[in-house]
Amino acid sequence: MARKYNWKTGCDVEATLSVIGGRWKPILVCHLLAGRKRFGELKRLTPNATERMITLQLRELEADGVISRHVFAEVPPRVEYEMTDYGRSLEPILVAMQDWGRSFKARRLAEEAEAQPCASVG
């Protein structure tokens, strides 16, 4: 793994971010909290992420014990991902992030609406 984190002396927040930090990990985890997904489903749900980035981030989440990968001996091969019990403990964190993001977006939209000049009545 390319991540560098000192497990003995590092900050606890840094430990959390080393597991779920990044642009796509929290999004992938949110999708997997809804249930088991195939790689193609995750790719469709995160259209702005490259296939390589999704693969790398899924591997890191699996290595950290957050998700599990199930390979089915079929032709063509089928791979599914799902949250582990330990990974499900991240749900309150991600729900709090989602709530904060919703509030932040609403605040910014309200600020932009206030900043728009009033239409003149003719």
Structure tokens at 119: 């239409």
Question: Where do the domains of the chain lie?
Answer: 12-101
Judge if pTM exceeds 0.85.
no
**Can you give the pLDDT at residue 74?**
87
The yes-or-no verdict on residue 122 having pLDDT over 60 is no
Q: Tens digit of pLDDT for each residue in 76-98?
A: 888 999 999 999 999 999 999 99
**Can you give the pLDDT at residue 121?**
54
**Torsion angles phi and psi, residue 72, rounded to 5:** -105, 135
Structure tokens at 59: 């591997």
Select the CATH number that applies to the domain covering 12-101 from these four: 1.20.1440.230, 1.10.240.10, 1.10.10.10, 3.40.50.300: 1.10.10.10
Q: To the nearest whole percent, how much of the chain has pLDDT over 90?
A: 67
Which residue did the predictor score with more confidence, 113 or 119? 113
**Helix 12-20, helix 25-33: angle, nearest 10:** 70
Q: Tens digit of pLDDT for each residue in 52-66?
A: 999 999 999 999 999
**Can you give the pLDDT at residue 7?**
65
Q: Tens digit of pLDDT for each residue in 5-37?
A: 666 767 888 888 889 998 999 999 999 999 999
Residues sharing a CB contact under 8 Å with residue 94, sequence separation 6 or more, in sequence order? 20, 26, 29, 30, 33
